[in-house]
């Protein structure tokens, strides 16, 4: 009997998972001892398994679970139609005011990250396996490169001993980076040491410092120290819009020959949106500006582009979708602008997905962010892609090109169910450092 068409999805699992984190500092506070994610695992009638990973928390898990009737029973070749049916059947949550994350309100991140992109990833994984092609060949104009440049994502780290929370201790590890990443690092000297150890382990040639933690002038001293230690490297800073327009100009003008770009230097102020404020910043400072905060959907991008607010759009596939992120890369390349991708705490499934998306991005993307270096070792795959000489290697096998380790997945699922809360809240750990601490988008985390 002749069988026509692509295989059909026979099963869809939604598995919430959790992993361990360091006490990383950002404008929104301090990372908790754990982070959460949601996995989508699809099986098809050809016997293949496809995987996807997305933002954590019960809201996203419930959204994914509600999609199961729209996915199971559908041919994988209809993946665009499946996603369209999900979009047409969805509606905005009552508490989603459409503001997005231009003030880095972490509570709203779950509305910017779209759950269905984990389904898209898993479907593309299955389709690639059916067609005997790597996933990146199914995106945009196909594969553009075999490896993807990544940067060393540097963070200030607080003293976990002050928090009385169950942060993990890797002081006994044989790996110098694993030992260091759980320790306090709040000075320029220790930030430089962080970069040096990362360079030794992963070969990073470019670095980005997460700002919005100390006074801006102190953070710029760390950037100067980094540039002195790595004179040929590209240096970037991301204060998540913590600086006023006046402060951003004052801090960044002297850094025009030191910084490569600045990410989201300013936020909304005086009745003006971040897009308007950053357009004024660009008029005053001769530095490229990147964002993952003010252009997180196509309507926001239209206004950001019209105002010439940004030069680099960090189009995280979990915000834009896999096809959407590559479409953004194509548009930016045609316009003479630059594509990149932001990240959040993630497992190696997302690391793999980022490799494929970036492999399909045309032109000359900026070095990709990845939090993976802070989670490295907590593998959910049997064959995690490696970062070698600062480049993330793109799997060559069909689909995502990796094999999920279900034993590790179920361990991460068990940890998730043991946690007191599944939603990200960076204020909890901060209460141990500064009693009564409250988030303020215009006050760096440790400036109170």
In the 3-class helix/strand/coil scheme, how is 100-117 assigned residue by residue? CCCCCCHHHHHHHCCCHH
Cα dist from 377 to 21, 247, 385, 424, whole Å: 12, 39, 12, 22
What is d(CA 22, CA 31) in angstroms, rounded to the nearest whole number? 7
As a whole number of angstroms, the distance between CA 301 and CA 154 comes to 27
Exposure on the CB side of residue 366, measured as CA atoms within 13 A: 32
Q: Which helix (H) or strand (E) holds 12?
A: strand 9-20
Name the DSSP letter for residue 365.
Answer: P
Q: What mean pLDDT comes out for the span 2-19?
A: 92
Residue 198 pLDDT > 90: yes
What gap in Å lies between CA 121 and CA 144, rounded to an integer? 19
Catalytic residue among 210, 227, 356, 371: 210
Mean pLDDT of 136-143: 98
**Residues 56, 68: Cα–Cα separation, whole Å:** 18
- Judged by average pLDDT, the poorest of 110-114, 175-179, 231-235, 352-356 is 110-114
Alpha carbon distance 153, 395 (integer Å): 22
Cα 75 to the center of its chain, rounded Å: 30
C-alpha to C-alpha distances, 259 to 45, 148, 196, 280, nearest whole angstrom = 52, 22, 18, 19
Please list the residue range(s) of the chain that carry CATH number 3.20.20.120.
Answer: 137-404
- Which fold does the domain 9-136+407-417 belong to in CATH? Enolase-like; domain 1 (3.30.390)
Pick from 345, 329, 425: which is nearest to 378 by CA?
345
Judge whether 22 and 157 are in contact, CB under 8 Å. Answer: yes
pLDDT beyond 60 at 332: yes
Q: What is the pLDDT of residue 285?
A: 98
State the pLDDT at residue 365.
98
Question: Which alpha helices (H) appear in 160-215, and where do they start and end?
Answer: 176-180, 188-202
Q: What is the mean pLDDT of residues 409-419?
A: 97
Q: Is 417 a catalytic residue?
A: no
The answer, yes or no, to whether residue 3 has pLDDT greater than 60, is no
409 with 11: CB under 8 angstroms?
no
Task: Give the single-character DSSP code of 6.
Answer: S
Residues making up the chain, counted from first to last:
448
SS3 sequence, 300-364?
Answer: HHHHHHHCCCCCEEECCHHHHCHHHHHHHHHHHHHHCCEEECCCCCCCHHHHHHHHHHHHHCCCC
pLDDT in tens, 204-251: 999 999 999 999 999 999 999 999 999 999 999 999 999 999 999 999
**332-347: average pLDDT:** 96
Q: What 3-state DSSP class applies to 436?
A: coil
pTM: 0.95
Region for 77 from its dihedrals, namely left if φ exceeds 0, alpha if ψ lies in -120 to 50, beta otherwise: alpha
φ, ψ (nearest 5 deg) of residue 339 = -105, 150
* Phi, psi dihedrals of residue 2, rounded to the nearest 5°: -75, 130
* Residue 447: Cβ-neighbour burial (10 angstroms; 0-12, 13-18, 19+): middle
Looking at residue 259, its pLDDT comes to: 98
Task: Give the mean model confidence (pLDDT) for residues 255-284.
Answer: 97
Q: How many whole angstroms separate alpha carbon 97 and alpha carbon 93? A: 8
Q: How many CB atoms lie within 10 A of CB 414?
A: 11
What CA–CA distances, in Å, run from 256 to 173, 180, 415? Answer: 39, 31, 45
Residues near 56 by beta carbon (within 8 Å), at least 6 away in sequence: 16, 17, 18, 35, 36, 37, 38, 416, 422, 423, 424
Residue among 127, 119, 177, 147 nearest 321 (CA): 119
pLDDT band at 111; cut points 50, 70, 90: low
Taking only Cα atoms into account, the Rg of the chain, rounded to an integer number of angstroms, comes to 21
Euclidean distance between the first and the last CA atom of the chain, given in angstroms as a whole number:
73
Q: How far apart are CA 207 and CA 284, in angstroms?
A: 24
Is the pLDDT reported for residue 101 higher than 90?
no
Instruction: For residue 367, give the DSSP letter.
Output: P
Convert the pLDDT of each residue in 353-389 to its tens digit.
999 999 999 999 999 999 999 999 999 999 999 999 9
Quote the mean pLDDT of the chain. Answer: 95
CA dist 152 and 149 (Å) reads 10
Give the pLDDT band of residue 92 (cuts 50, 70, 90). Answer: confident
pLDDT recorded at residue 1: 45
Of the residues 108, 282, 342, 422, which is catalytic? Answer: 342
What's the mean pLDDT in 272-280? 97
Q: Is 342 a catalytic residue?
A: yes
Q: Which CATH number fits domain 137-404: 3.40.50.800, 3.30.465.10, 3.20.20.120, 3.30.70.1450?
A: 3.20.20.120
Structure confidence at residue 95 as a pLDDT band (50, 70, 90) = confident
What confidence score (pLDDT) does residue 156 get? 98
pLDDT in tens, 21-53: 999 999 999 999 999 999 999 999 999 999 999
> For the chain, where do the domains classified as CATH 3.30.390.10 start and end?
9-136+407-417
């Amino acid at each position: 009997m002749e069988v026509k068409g692509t295989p059909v999805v026979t099963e869809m699992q939604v598995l919430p998972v959790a992993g361990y984190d360091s006490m990383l500092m950002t404008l929104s506070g301090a990372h908790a001892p754990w982070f959460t994610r949601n996995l989508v695992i699809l099986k098809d009638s050809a016997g293949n398994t496809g995987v996807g990973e997305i933002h954590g928390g019960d809201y996203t898990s419930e959204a994914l679970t509600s999609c199961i009737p729209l996915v199971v029973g559908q041919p994988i070749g209809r993946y665009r139609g499946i996603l369209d049916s999900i979009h047409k059947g969805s509606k905005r949550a009552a508490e989603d005011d459409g503001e997005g994350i231009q003030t880095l309100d972490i509570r709203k991140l779950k509305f910017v990250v779209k759950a269905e992109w984990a389904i898209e990833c898993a479907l593309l994984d299955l389709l690639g396996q059916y067609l005997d092609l790597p996933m990146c060949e199914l995106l945009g104009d196909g594969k553009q490169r075999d490896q993807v440049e990544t940067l060393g994502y540097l963070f200030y780290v607080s003293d976990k001993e002050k928090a009385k929370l169950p942060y993990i201790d890797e002081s006994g590890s044989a790996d110098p980076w694993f030992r260091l990443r759980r320790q306090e690092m709040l000075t320029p000297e220790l930030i430089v040491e962080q970069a040096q150890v990362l360079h030794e382990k992963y070969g990073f040639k470019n670095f980005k410092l997460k700002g919005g933690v100390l006074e801006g002038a102190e953070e710029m001293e760390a950037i100067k120290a980094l540039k002195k230690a790595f004179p040929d490297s590209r240096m970037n800073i991301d204060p998540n819009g913590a600086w006023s327009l006046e402060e951003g100009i004052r801090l960044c003008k002297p850094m025009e020959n030191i910084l490569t770009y600045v990410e989201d230097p300013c936020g909304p102020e005086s009745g003006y949106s971040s897009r308007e404020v950053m357009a004024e910043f660009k008029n005053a400072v001769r530095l490229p500006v990147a964002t993952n905060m003010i252009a997180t959907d196509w309507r926001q991008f239209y206004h950001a582009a019209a105002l010439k607010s940004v030069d680099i759009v960090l189009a995280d596939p979990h915000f834009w979708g896999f096809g959407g992120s590559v479409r953004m890369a194509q548009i930016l390349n045609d316009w003479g602008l630059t594509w990149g991708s932001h990240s959040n705490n993630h497992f190696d499934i997302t690391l793999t997905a980022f490799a494929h998306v970036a492999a399909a991005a045309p032109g000359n993307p900026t070095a990709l962010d990845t939090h993976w270096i802070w989670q490295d070792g907590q593998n959910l795959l049997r064959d995690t892609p490696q970062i070698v000489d600062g480049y993330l290697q793109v799997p060559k096998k069909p689909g995502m090109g990796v094999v999920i380790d279900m034993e590790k997945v179920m361990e991460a699922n068990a940890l998730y169910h043991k946690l007191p809360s599944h939603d990200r809240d960076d204020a909890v750990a901060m209460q141990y450092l500064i009693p009564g601490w409250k988030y303020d988008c215009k006050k760096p985390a440790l400036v109170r």
